[in-house]
């Protein structure tokens, strides 16, 4: 069995003989898949960095139509190869073809690529700002080096390093990408990279605009994100890996955007529970177990008042969890990690209501699991009881009083999301007004009467939040064009002669439609 080559410098490059190799496993059976993939060597990474700089150079002064055209051609190619992509991703991740891969994740991915292409063409994302009197003008532009994208295991297309949201945003902002694929789905990634390469070749984009490696030695990952030739890094994955990469990048002054861990608290207010407990139980159950609980926005903790109706609600969620099929997890180690995390929650006072054991059947499984803990106990160990469990596990916190709900809210770390379920006729308004200001500061996205697992790709989305959910509270990883702002440098031109300005900063609007801030007014007109 030969080892697959990696996409470096515009072509497929064989790994050197000394490179380690790995293969993926089928999570449904636990069996190793036949294809072998390389762990890239540092020499290969260096050659990717050099090639990325050549691509960067080739893009200079080009119209944004070049990257837009590539992104659109790539989206088309993905659609043309949807069946093969779905087969591969299903084999490597166990994610269902339907409803997940075919009609949800794949269209989302091509939609993101096309939105990014449209934003690149439109140019408004660059926030051109003209002070015509002082002749000082500034605009966002690409970074001085490629963006390294580390993809997670849970979205083989939509967050893949070589096709996902970070990828699309970085390319649309004019940066070459070096994708570090997730080793969980190398075959899917290989096909995506092949499609990207064919799209590069079919358009006028520089051949090394997209490069991809399957795996890296951990020390090479640290070296890469801190390398002088790198522009920035985007990482989606575990807190431990993210923090190690962050330390390396920060030390070298390299921006790094992290999407690490989040328990996405859901506060269910008593009026809402009285009004529609069964519906909320179904919502919570559905959201906790979507993607077998392996979403970054999975509600891992729900907080409610320990009143008369609480017991019935707990039982109802537990019943839904117990009676549902056990899903297949993504990783070989995920079941044991779930078990360890549940044991840790128990050690800090949480009790299992249902589940808590490895799932039955072949492959990687863990039973749908509900735990409960009193608000008093939660507050004693709020840090430990906020550990993210990447699987179908949720913790219900039963607060003694509304005051204790507020104390629990205050004890939370930074999260991607926070939800408040409230009575439709206003019975919870007082408590909402108390909890909302606390939760607002703890999360990037605040939801009302809605579970957090849906992350719409809209300019108004924030898939971000305070540390440790991410590394910076001002940026989002989802939503075009906002997500592109992470991969941009602010370029000011002071007293530069008109013919030397980039088109976006000349008096004449370069597209006739680009939004620019001219002397304090947003306008599509000329200056």
Counts of helices then strands in the chain (DSSP H, E): 14, 21
129 lies in the binding site for a copy of itself (CB under 8 A): yes
Cβ-based nearer residue to a copy of itself, 197 or 438: 438
Tokens representing 511? 């597209």
Quote the CA–CA distance of 227 and 252 in Å, as a whole number: 8
Question: Residue 502: which of 50, 60, 28 has the closest Cα?
Answer: 60
Question: Which residues between 323 and 382 bind a copy of itself (CB under 8 A)?
Answer: none
* 42 part of the interface to a copy of itself, by CB under 8 A: no
Among 46, 65, 76, 131, binds a copy of itself (CB under 8 A): 131
The length of the chain is 527
Among 15-23, 33-41, 368-376, 517-525, the segment contacting a copy of itself (CB under 8 A)? 517-525
Peptide bond into 61 cis (omega under 30): no
Q: In the range 469-508, which residues lie near a copy of itself by CB under 8 A?
A: 471-476, 482, 485-486, 488-497, 500
What is the SS3 string spanning 257-273? EEECCCCCCEEECHHHH
Residues 6+ apart with CB under 8 A from 365: 326, 327, 328, 329, 335, 358, 359
Token digits of residue 294: 């392996």
Nearer to a copy of itself (CB atom), residue 362 or residue 459: 459
Q: Which is nearer to a copy of itself, 427 or 496 (CB)?
A: 496
Q: How far is the CB of 219 from a copy of itself (least distance, A)?
A: 20
Size of the site for a copy of itself (CB under 8 A): 73
- Closest separation in Å from C-beta 250 to a copy of itself: 4
Q: Is 383 in the site for a copy of itself (CB under 8 A)?
A: no
Burial of 473-501, coded b for 16+ CB within 10 Å and e otherwise, reads: eebbbbbbbbbbbbbbeeeebeeeeeeeb
95 vs 260, which CB is nearer to a copy of itself? 260
- Residue 54 annotated in active site: no
By CB under 8 A, what part of segment 48-67 binds a copy of itself?
A: 60-61
Compare residues 17 and 460 and give the one whose CB is closer to a copy of itself.
460
Q: Considering the rule CB under 8 A, would residue 253 count as an interface residue with a copy of itself? A: yes
Residue 438 tokens read as: 């606390």
Rounded to the nearest whole angstrom, what is the least distance from the CB of residue 129 to a copy of itself in the complex? 4
Q: Segment 422-451, which members bind a copy of itself (CB under 8 A)? A: 432, 436-437, 440-442, 444-450
CA distance 486 to 166: 9
CB of 160 to a copy of itself, least distance (A): 24
Q: Quick check: 384 binds a copy of itself (CB under 8 A)? A: no
Residue partners of 152: CB distance under 8 A and separation at least 6: 159, 182, 236, 237, 296
> Can 338 be counted among the known catalytic residues?
no
Give the C-alpha distances (Å, rounded to integers) separating 88 from 92, 156, 160, 461.
6, 10, 14, 30
Residues 191-220 that bind a copy of itself (CB under 8 A): none
Residues whose CB is less than 8 angstroms from the CB of residue 294 and which lie 6 or more positions away in sequence, other chains included = 153, 154, 329, 330, 334, 390, 391
- Count of other CB atoms within 10 angstroms of residue 83: 10
Q: Distance (Å, rounded) from C-alpha 219 to C-alpha 191?
A: 27
Q: Which region, judged by CB under 8 A, interacts with a copy of itself, from 100-108, 135-143, 191-199, 401-409?
A: 135-143
| The one among 75, 88, 116, 143 contacting a copy of itself by CB under 8 A | 143
Q: Pick the stretch among 270-278, 329-337, 391-399, 518-526 that binds a copy of itself (CB under 8 A).
A: 518-526
414: left (phi over 0), alpha (psi -120 to 50) or beta: beta
In the complex, least distance from residue 413 CB atom to a copy of itself, rounded to whole angstroms: 10
Phi, psi of 434 (to 5 degrees): -80, -40
For the CB of residue 152, give the shortest distance to a copy of itself in the complex, in Å: 19
Complex with a copy of itself: residue 202 or 485, whichever CB lies closer: 485
In the numeric block, the tokens 């159950």 are attached to 285
Out of 259, 388, 413, 504, the active site residue is 259
Q: Whole-angstrom Cα distance, residue 49 to residue 106? A: 29
Write the CB contacts of 215 (distance below 8 Å, at least 6 apart in sequence).
22, 37, 38, 39, 40, 180, 181, 183, 186
Q: Which stretch binds a copy of itself (CB under 8 A): 94-102, 123-131, 303-311, 349-357?
A: 123-131
For tokens 């439609």, the residue is: 513
Q: How far is the CB of 380 from a copy of itself (least distance, A)?
A: 18
Other C-beta atoms closer than 10 Å to the C-beta of 429 total 13
Kindly state the smallest distance separating residue 248's Cβ from a copy of itself, in Å: 11
Residue 127 CB, shortest distance to a copy of itself, in Å, is 9
Determine if 525 is a binding residue for a copy of itself (CB under 8 A): no
Query: Which of 72, 105, 296, 413 is an active site residue?
Result: 296
Binding pattern for the stretch 448-467 against a copy of itself, x by CB under 8 A and - elsewhere: xxx-x---x-xxxxx-x-xx
Kindly state the smallest distance separating residue 468's Cβ from a copy of itself, in Å: 6
Q: Which of residues 254-283 bind a copy of itself (CB under 8 A)?
A: 254-255
Q: Among residues 238 and 523, whose Cβ is nearest to a copy of itself? A: 523
Could you tell me which stretch among 36-44, 70-78, 206-214, 248-256 binds a copy of itself (CB under 8 A)? 248-256
| Cβ count near 448 (within 10 Å) | 10
Task: State the Cα–Cα distance between residues 369 and 203, nearest whole angstrom.
Answer: 49
The nearer residue to a copy of itself, 241 or 517, going by C-beta atoms, is: 517
List active site positions: 259, 296
């Amino acid at each position: 069995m030969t080892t697959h080559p990696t996409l470096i410098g515009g072509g497929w490059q064989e790994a050197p003989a000394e490179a380690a190799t790995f293969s993926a496993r089928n999570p449904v059976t636990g069996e190793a898949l036949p294809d072998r993939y390389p762990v890239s060597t540092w020499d290969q990474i260096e050659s990717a960095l050099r090639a990325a700089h050549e691509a960067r150079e080739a893009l200079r002064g080009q119209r944004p139509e070049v990257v837009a055209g590539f992104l659109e051609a790539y989206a088309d190619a993905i659609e043309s190869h949807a069946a093969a992509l779905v087969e591969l991703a299903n084999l490597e991740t166990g994610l269902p073809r339907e409803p997940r891969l075919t009609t949800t994740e794949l269209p989302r991915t091509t939609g993101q690529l096309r939105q990014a292409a449209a934003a690149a063409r439109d140019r408004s994302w660059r926030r051109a700002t003209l002070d015509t009197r002082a002749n000082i003008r500034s605009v966002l532009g690409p970074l001085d080096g490629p963006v390294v994208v580390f993809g997670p295991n849970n979205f083989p297309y939509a967050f893949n390093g070589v096709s996902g949201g970070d990828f699309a945003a970085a390319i649309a902002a004019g940066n070459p990408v070096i994708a570090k694929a997730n080793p969980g789905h190398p075959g899917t990634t290989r096909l995506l990279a092949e499609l990207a390469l064919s799209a590069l070749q079919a358009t006028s984009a520089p051949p090394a605009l997209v490069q991809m490696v399957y795996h890296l030695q951990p020390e090479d990952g640290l070296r890469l994100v801190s390398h002088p030739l790198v522009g920035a890094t985007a990482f989606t994955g575990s807190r431990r890996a993210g923090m190690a990469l962050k330390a390396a990048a920060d030390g070298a002054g390299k921006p790094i955007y992290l999407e690490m861990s989040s328990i996405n608290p859901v506060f269910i207010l008593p009026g809402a529970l009285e009004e529609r407990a069964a519906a909320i139980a179904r919502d919570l159950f559905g959201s906790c177990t979507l993607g077998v609980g392996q979403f970054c926005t999975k509600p891992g903790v729900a907080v409610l008042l320990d009143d008369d109706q609480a017991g019935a609600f707990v039982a109802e969620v537990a019943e839904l969890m117990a009676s549902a099929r056990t899903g297949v997890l993504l990783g070989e180690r995920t079941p044991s990690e779930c078990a360890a995390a549940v044991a840790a929650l128990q050690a800090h006072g949480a009790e299992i209501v249902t589940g808590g054991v490895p799932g039955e059947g072949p492959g990687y499984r863990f039973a749908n699991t509900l735990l409960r803990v009193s608000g008093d106990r939660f507050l004693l160990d709020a840090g430990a009881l906020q550990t993210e469990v990447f699987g179908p596990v949720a913790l219900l916190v039963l607060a003694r009083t509304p005051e204790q709900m507020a104390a629990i809210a205050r004890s939370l770390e930074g999260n991607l999301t926070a939800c408040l379920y409230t009575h439709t006729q206003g019975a919870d308004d007082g408590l909402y007004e108390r909890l909302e200001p606390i939760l607002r500061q703890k999360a990037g996205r605040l939801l009302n009467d809605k579970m957090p697992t849906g992350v719409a790709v809209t300019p108004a989305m924030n898939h971000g939040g305070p540390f440790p959910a991410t590394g910076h509270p001002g940026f989002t990883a989802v939503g075009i064009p906002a997500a592109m702002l992470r991969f941009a440098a602010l370029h000011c031109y002071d007293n530069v002669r008109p013919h030397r300005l980039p088109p976006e900063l000349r008096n004449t609007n370069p597209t006739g439609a680009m939004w620019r801030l001219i002397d304090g007014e947003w306008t599509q007109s000329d200056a």
